[in-house]
Amino acid sequence: MSFFGKIKDAIFGSKAAAAPAPTSQPDPATSAAPAAAPVPQAISEVDVEAILNDLSAKSAQTLNWRTSIVDLMKLLGLDSSLAERKGLAQEFGYTGALDGSAEMNIWLHKQVMRELAANGGKVPAELLD
């Protein structure tokens, strides 16, 4: 799985996990007509800020996910090591030094927010600048 895929799944998967699972057995009390399949929510309905705020409220740590890629990854229960961030930076095509600098980490955070928005997440405008 891609580095960004882990982040996306941790956020978008939270929304999908809240949806009830469809039943596999038909109810014999219903008519013979097939039941309508549940309609999955569109990815565009995933409110990234609300999900992250909820996770933050439940966290024992104070994490600044709004500006820190390390804190964002920790909040999602992902490995935030330099090796993981290097892999994420390479996946996104970062051309600077892969040294964990503030420049790299700020760029990564912005890129992750932009990619979440590009993949259907609702991300506040101030996190996309």
pTM value is 0.76
Q: Do 11 and 127 contact (CB within 8 A), yes or no? A: no
pLDDT of residue 39: 46
In this prediction, residues 66-76 reach a mean pLDDT of 97
pLDDT at 125 over 50: yes
Beta carbons within 8 Å of 81's beta carbon, 6+ residues apart? none
pLDDT at 38 over 70: no
Quote the percentage of the chain above a pLDDT of 90.
72
Can you give the residue ranges of every domain in the chain?
3-14+42-124
pLDDT of residue 108: 98
Phi, then psi, of 122 in degrees rounded to 5? -90, 110
pLDDT of residue 129: 80
**Alpha-carbon gap, residue 124 to 129, rounded angstroms:** 10
Residue in the structure block whose two tokens are 């409110």: 47
Summarize pLDDT for 45-70 with one digit per residue, the tens: 799 999 999 999 999 999 999 999 99
